[in-house]
Amino acid sequence: MFYHRKLFAAAIGVATLAAAPASAATVTASASVNVVKPVQLTKLGDLNFGTVTFAGGSSGSATVTISQLGAVTCPAGATCTGTPAAARFNIQGTNKMTALLTVPSTTLSNGTDSMTFTPVAPASVYLPNSGAPGIDFAVGGSISIGAANAGGTYSGSISVTAEYQ
């Protein structure tokens, strides 16, 4: 019987250990989110090369450029007049983000003839503030006018795409 008492006492000891609650552990983690506003682009002004006049007897082609500041470089044998202006845009978005800019070449046409506009623009824009006033930037570029191009007004559209880096 002594043996049964030891066995019974041991069984109660094991049952007491099994019935005791396990020790709980708690840990916390912080939660955060970075909300990014969509990029907004606004056109502030159109690109204008002004008027290009070639001297009599000109042949071949000539390249006319306009800087991002709006300064026109006219080739020898041509005169550039008018009120030139680079295209101007405003970009707004989330502060401390960088937006990559894409400005592809485009075609300017007078309805019959065409010429290629090759843009010059910033590759990216850093946004130091959130929303207004945003950052202004300009797009300049060049056109190659061939002797075969008929006179007239050539026009087209400049497409600007911005996306966060």
37-52 confidence digits (pLDDT tens): 899 999 999 999 999 9
9-64 confidence digits (pLDDT tens): 555 555 555 555 678 999 999 999 988 889 999 999 999 999 998 876 666 788 99
- The count of domains in the chain is 1
- Asked if residue 92 is part of any domain, the answer here is yes
- Asked if residue 111 is part of any domain, the answer here is yes
- Asked if residue 47 is part of any domain, the answer here is yes
- Asked if residue 34 is part of any domain, the answer here is no
Which domain does 130 fall in, by range?
A: 40-149+156-160
- Asked if residue 70 is part of any domain, the answer here is yes
- Asked if residue 5 is part of any domain, the answer here is no
Residue 69 to residues 13, 65, 88, Cα–Cα distance (Å): 89, 11, 10
State pTM to two decimals. Answer: 0.78
